[in-house]
Amino acid sequence: MRDFMAITKALSDPNRVRMLLALRRGELCVCQITEIFGFAPSTVSKHLSILHRAGLILSRKSERWVYYRLPDPSAPVVVREALDWVHKSLAKSAATHADAKQLKRILKTDLAVICQRQKC
C-alpha cells in the first residue's frame, strides 16, 4: 500500500506527469527538463526526486550531468502498469504535444548553452 501510494502521490501533480511524458523519447538531464518547463532548478529537482522515490524514473550520472529516464521492463509490475496507463491516456493530449515541441527545440541546443542560460 505504501509503495502504491508513493506512485499515486507522484502522479497527482500535473507537472510531474508532464515530466514523465517528456521522458518518453529518451533520457534527459535536469537542466534540459528545467528548460522545457521553465521552473527553478530546485523545483525540478524536487519533482524528479519524488518520481524517482516512487520508482517511476531511474537516474544516471555522467560527466557533469544527472540524466533521468523511464525504467526498463524489469521494473515492478505496479510501476510498469502505471506508466503504461499514463502514456496511453495522455499521449495525444495538448499539454504533451506542447512539451514535445519545446523538447524538440531544446534537443537542438548544446547542453552547455542551456545551462549557461539558466545560470544553473
Partner DNA sequence: TTATCGTTTCGTTGTTTGACGAAATGACTC
Partner DNA sequence: GAGTCATTTCGTCAAACAACGAAACGATAA
Task: List contacts with DNA (CB under 7 A).
Answer: 9, 12-13, 15-16, 29-31, 34, 39-50, 59, 61, 63-66, 112, 115-116, 120
Q: Give the nearest distance from C-beta 94 to a copy of itself in angstroms.
A: 7
Does residue 82 touch a copy of itself according to CB under 8 A? Answer: yes
Amino acid, single-letter form, for residue 89: S
Residue 59 touches which of DNA, a copy of itself, none (Cβ within 5-8 Å per kind) = DNA
Choose one: 7-15, 24-32, 41-49, 107-115; the region binding a copy of itself (CB under 8 A). Answer: 7-15
Does residue 49 touch a copy of itself according to CB under 8 A? Answer: no
Contact 48, 24 (CB under 8 A): no
| The three-state (H, E, C) secondary structure of 78-119, written as one string | HHHHHHHHHHHHHCCCHHHHHHHHHHHHHHCCCHHHHHHHHC
HSE-CB at 8 with a 13 A cutoff on CA atoms is 5
**CA-wise closest residue to 67 among 37, 104, 116, 22:** 22
- For residue 118, give the C-alpha cell: 539558466
Residue 94 touches which of a copy of itself, DNA, none (Cβ within 5-8 Å per kind) = a copy of itself
Interface residues with a copy of itself (CB under 8 A)? Answer: 1, 4-5, 8-9, 11-12, 14, 17, 77-78, 81-82, 85-86, 88-90, 93-96
